[in-house]
Amino acid sequence: MPRKIEQEVFPRWKKLSSELGFDKAFDEFAPYVGANVRVRSIDQYTVESSMALVETNTNYVGTHFGGSLYSMCDPFFMFLLMHNLGEDYIVWDKAAAIEFIKPGTGTVTAHFHIPASEIAALKAELARVRKLDRIYTCEVKDEQGAVVARMQKTLYVRLMKKIAITHPTGV
C-alpha cells in the first residue's frame, strides 16, 4: 500500500532553526561542517553562502571540490520559496545543473535572491495554474569577483492546502 508523504520541515531542521536560528542551524549540518560552508541571511528574500578552501573541501588538484561547490548552493532557492510562499504551497527540487567555469581557490561566495515581486507573481500565477516549474540561477564567485561556477535549479511549485504525495514505491 502506498505511503503518503507530507511536505514539512524535517524535525531536526525545525529544532535547530528554532533553537539556533536559520543561519546557525547550518553550523550543525554535517555536510556543511565538513565542507566549511557558512550561511548568512541578508533579509527574508536573500541568503548568502560562503566557503573557504580547507583540507576537507579540497579536491585532488588542490582546488574546491565540485560537490562542495554544488552543496553550498543546493537548498537556498527552495528555502526562500518555502519561507516566503508559506504553508499553502509545496516546493520541491526538480532538477539541478552546475557549470564549473574556473578552479575555485580561497573563499568563494554565492548569493541567492528571490525578490518580493517574484513571490507575488508566483502566487498570482499559481492561483490560475495551480502548479509550475521555476528556474533560478546563482553564481559562485571568488574573492576577486570572478565566476567560479554557475548553478541552475529547477523548482516545482504547487498551490495546495494540505500536501499529501503518494510515493510510487510505498516508501
Going from N- to C-terminal start, the domains of the chain cover: 11-163
Least confident of 92-96, 114-118, 155-159, 163-167: 163-167
The pLDDT of residue 169 = 53
Q: What are phi and psi of 123, to 5 degrees?
A: -60, -40
Using the predicted structure, report yes or no on whether residue 7 has a pLDDT greater than 60: yes
Tens digits of residue pLDDT in 106-149: 999 999 999 999 999 999 999 999 899 999 999 999 999 999 99
* Strand ranges in the chain using DSSP code E only, listed in sequence order: 4-5, 37-43, 46-52, 89-100, 107-113, 131-141, 147-159, 165-166
Inter-CA distances, 84 with 14, 53, 80, 118, 129, Å:
16, 32, 6, 10, 19
pLDDT reported for residue 59:
93
Residue 28 has a pLDDT of 79
H/E segment holding residue 66 = helix 66-71
Q: What is the pTM of this model?
A: 0.83
Q: Give CA–CA dist 111/139, Å, rounded.
A: 7
Give the span between the Cα atoms of 3 and 132, in whole angstroms.
Answer: 24
Contact 120, 149 (CB under 8 A): no
Cell numbers standing for residue 148: 567560479
CATH superfamily of 11-163: Hotdog Thioesterase (3.10.129.10)
- Cβ-proximal residues to 13 (8 Å cutoff; 6+ apart), any chain: 25
Q: What is the mean pLDDT of residues 94-100?
A: 97
